[in-house]
Amino acid sequence: MKETANNKDYALLSYHHIPGVHNLEIFERAGGYETMKACFEKDPEAIKEEVKLSGLRGRGGAGFATGVKWGFFTKDRKAQKYLLCNADESEPGTFKDRYLVEKNPHILIEGMIISAWALATQKGYIYIRGEFYQQAVILERAIKEAYAKGYLGKNILGKGFDFDLYVHRGAGAYICGEETGMISSLEGKKGQPKLKPPFPAIKGYRGLPTMVNNVESLAAIPWIMKFGAAAYKQWGTEKSPGTKLFSISGDVNKPGVIEVPLSTSLKDIIEIHCGGMRNGNKLKAVIPGGSSAPVFNAEDAYTVKMDYEDVAAKGSMLGSGAIIVLDETRNMGDVLKWTLEFYHHESCGQCTPCREGTGWLESVFKRRDKGLAHKADIDLLDRTANSMRGQTICALADAAAMPTQGMIKVFRQELEAYVVAPIKK
C-alpha cells in the first residue's frame, strides 16, 4: 500500500516509507528511541501533563482522553501496576493497528516505554489478537532487539527504572478488545468484561492498577513528546486534536490505511486518499467508525468531517476510524444481516440482554430466509435493539443495537423490502 506523501510529516506513519524500519537499527538511524531517551531526563509528571495538553483521545474507539485516563492512575511509583497495550483490533473494518505495527513495531515499543516511565508501570503486555500471528512475531522480534539495547528490562539505561514487555496473543474473540474483557483474557480466563466500578486504572489485571491504551494512542506518544502538545494540536480541532489512522475498505479504488489530521472531510478521504469510488459507481452509504457505528447516507458522508464531534453530531461515531464505503450496488439488508451475525457470534454471553438480544436481532433475518418475515419485523428489530441499549456490562449490546437502529433510520424502506423479498436459491 502506498502512503500519501505527507504521511512523513505526521505522527504515526512518519517512518513507514523507510525500508526495513522494523529493524531497530534502521529505526534508530531515522531518529527512533531518541524521544524515549530524552523522556528519561524528564519528570514523569511533566510527560503526563504534556500528553494531557495534547488532547490525544483514545484511539481504540471510545475516544476518551488519554491524558485524563492517565490521571486516574495511581501516582505511587512503587506500587505494582501494569501497562496493557490493546492490539486486539477486531472491530470489523479496522486494520490500522496491524498496519502500524507490522511495518514499524518500534514506534509502539518506544511509546510504551515512555508511557511506562511516566506511569511507573513495571510490566507491560501487548495483547494482540490471535489472528495477527505474524504481527506478534514481528513485535516479539522487535522487543528482543529493544532488550538487547537495554531499552527494556532491569535498570533501563541506568535510570533505575525497570520495565518488562511481552506479547500476549489472543485466540479469536472480539470481546477481548474491550479493556476489561482483555484483562480477563490476560488473566487466563474467558474474555468476559468485568463490572465497572472498579475501573482498571484502580483495579485491573490481577486486581492491580492497570492502564489499558490502544496501539495507536501509545504510538502517538513519542511524536507528542518530541514536538510537544502544541505542535500536535496544529492538526484537527479543539476537541479532536492530532492525526488519526483510518482504515478504509469497501467500494473505493485504493482501500488501505491512511494517516490524516482529524477533521479531514470524508469526501476527501474517499476521493483523494482512496482514489475515488470503485468502477466509478455512485456512493450510497458509509459506515464511518467500524461496524458498530450507525451508517451515513451519501449526503451525510459527503459533508461530514472526520472528527469525534462532527461524526457524533451527524448521529454516528468515529469509533476506531474504520470506514466501510458502500456503493449503489449494495443492499443495506445484506450489510445489516452480516453485521448482526457478527454480534450474535461475538456476544460473550454474560449479560442477558446482550446474550439473548443479539440472537434475537439476527433472528429476523433467519425468518427472512424461511420466507416468514414481515415488514413489521423491522419495528421489532428497532424495539429489540432499543431495549438492549445501556443495559449491559460492556458496550457490545450497544454496538449491535446502534448500527441496527441507525440502518433502520436511514434505510427503513430498503430493509422492509429486503426482509419480505423472496430468497434467491
Partner 1 sequence: MTEKVNLKWNGQDIQAEKGSNLLKAALDNGIEVAHYCYHAGLSIAGVCRMCMVEQDGVPRSFPSCNATCSEGMVVRNDTPKIKAAVESTLQFHLLNHPLDCPVCDQAGECGLQDYYMTHGKYDSQMIDKKVHKEKVQDIGKNVMLDAERCILCSRCTRFTEEVTKTNELGILNRGDHAEITVNENLKNDYAQNLVDICPVGALTSKDFRFKQRVWFLKEVPTTCIGCETGCSVKVSQNKNGSYRVKPVYDHDVNGHWMCDDGRNIYKHVSSPTRLSNASENINNLFVPVDELGVQAKVRGLKAKYILSTGLTVQEYADFFSNIKGSKAEVALYTLPSQGPEFDGILRRGDKNANLRGAKAAFEQAGFDSTQVGLDKVLNSISSNDVVYVVIPEILYNEDHFNTLINKILKAAVRIALTPGETLSTLRAFNYLLPVPSFLEKNGEIINFQGSKRKLTAGLSYGETSKDVSYYGKWVNV
Partner 2 sequence: MSTTETFEFNAKNMTTYKEYLTRYDDVESALLPVLHLAQEQNGWLPEHVVSYISKLMNIPEIKIKGVISFYDMFYDVPVARNIVHVCTNITCSMFGGREIYQGLLTHFDTGYLTPTRDGRISLQKMECLGACELAPCMRVNNDFVGNLDLTSAIQKLEELP
Give me the residues that bind partner 1 (CB under 8 A), please. 173, 195, 197, 344-353, 355-360, 363, 366-367, 372, 380, 387-388, 390-393
Residue 222 makes contact with partner 2 by CB under 8 A:
no
- Kindly give, in sequence order, each residue whose CB lies less than 8 Å from that of residue 118, ignoring residues fewer than 6 positions away: 39, 44, 45, 47, 48, 51, 70
Stretch that binds partner 2, among 52-60, 245-253, 263-271, 305-313 (CB under 8 A): 245-253
Residue of 255, 288, 289, 406 interacting with partner 2 (CB under 8 A): 255
Closest approach of Cβ 360 to partner 1, in Å?
A: 6
Going 416 to 417 to 418 to 422, the CA torsion angle's sign is positive
Set of cell numbers at residue 286: 458509509
- 275 near partner 2 (CB under 8 A): no
| Phi and psi torsions of 172, nearest 5° | 90, 75
Footprint on residues 66-85 left by partner 2 (CB under 8 A):
80
Amino acid at 37: K
Report the residue number, 222 or 290, with the smaller CB distance to partner 2.
Answer: 290
What distance in Å separates the CA atoms of residue 386 and residue 391, rounded to the nearest whole number? 10
The nearer residue to partner 1, 248 or 348, going by C-beta atoms, is: 348
Q: Which of residues 398-417 bind partner 2 (CB under 8 A)?
A: none
Stretch that binds partner 2, among 70-78, 306-314, 318-326, 379-387 (CB under 8 A): 318-326
Interface with partner 2 includes 171 (CB under 8 A)?
A: yes
Please tell me the distance from the alpha carbon of residue 61 to that of residue 175, in angstroms, as a whole number. Answer: 13
Is the Cβ of residue 42 or residue 330 nearer to partner 2 in the bound state?
330
User: Binds 236, which of partner 2, partner 1, none (CB < 5 to 8 A, cut-off by type)?
Assistant: none
Q: Which of 28, 49, 140, 187 binds partner 2 (CB under 8 A)?
A: 187
Q: E-strand spans in 174-304?
A: 210-214, 243-250, 256-261, 264-265, 283-287, 296-297
Q: Which is nearer to partner 2, 95 or 235 (CB)?
A: 95
Q: Which is nearer to partner 2, 1 or 79 (CB)?
A: 1
318 binds partner 2 (CB under 8 A): no
Helix axes of 352-369 and 332-346: crossing angle, nearest 10 degrees? 140
Q: Which residues contact 245 (CB under 8 A, 6 or more apart)?
A: 12, 13, 59, 96, 97, 99, 100, 216, 257, 258, 259, 321
Q: Which stretch binds partner 2 (CB under 8 A): 55-63, 131-139, 149-157, 386-394?
A: 131-139
Find out whether 221 and 111 touch, Cβ atoms under 8 Å.
Answer: yes
Q: Is 140 a residue that touches partner 2 (CB under 8 A)?
A: no
Task: Give CA–CA dist 292/289, Å, rounded.
Answer: 7
Strand partners, 126: 85, 167
**Which grid cell sits at 108?**
509502539
Q: Of residues 11, 119, 173, 400, which one binds partner 2 by CB under 8 A?
A: 173
Identity of the residue, 91 or 346, whose beta carbon is nearer to partner 1 in the bound complex: 346
- Give which of 76, 77, 51 is closest to 66, Cα–Cα: 51
Cα–Cα distance between 339 and 188 in angstroms, integer? 29
187 binds, among partner 1, partner 2, none (CB under 5 to 8 A by kind): partner 2
| Cell numbers at 192, concatenated | 468476559
With binding defined as CB under 8 A, does residue 94 bind partner 2?
yes
* Residue 322 binds: one of partner 2, partner 1, none (C-beta under 5 to 8 A by kind): partner 2
Q: Residue 53 Cβ, how far from partner 1 at the closest point, in Å?
A: 27
Q: How far is the CB of 38 from partner 2 (least distance, A)?
A: 29
Answer with the entry of partner 2, partner 1, none that 335 interacts with (C-beta below 5 to 8 A by kind): partner 2
Interacting residues of 381 by C-beta distance below 8 A, sequence separation 6+? 361, 364, 404, 408, 415
What does the binding site for partner 2 look like in residue numbers (CB under 8 A)? 1, 80, 89-95, 98, 123, 129-134, 164, 166, 168-174, 185-192, 206, 247-251, 255-257, 287, 291, 322, 324, 326, 330, 334-335, 338-339, 341-342, 345-346, 348
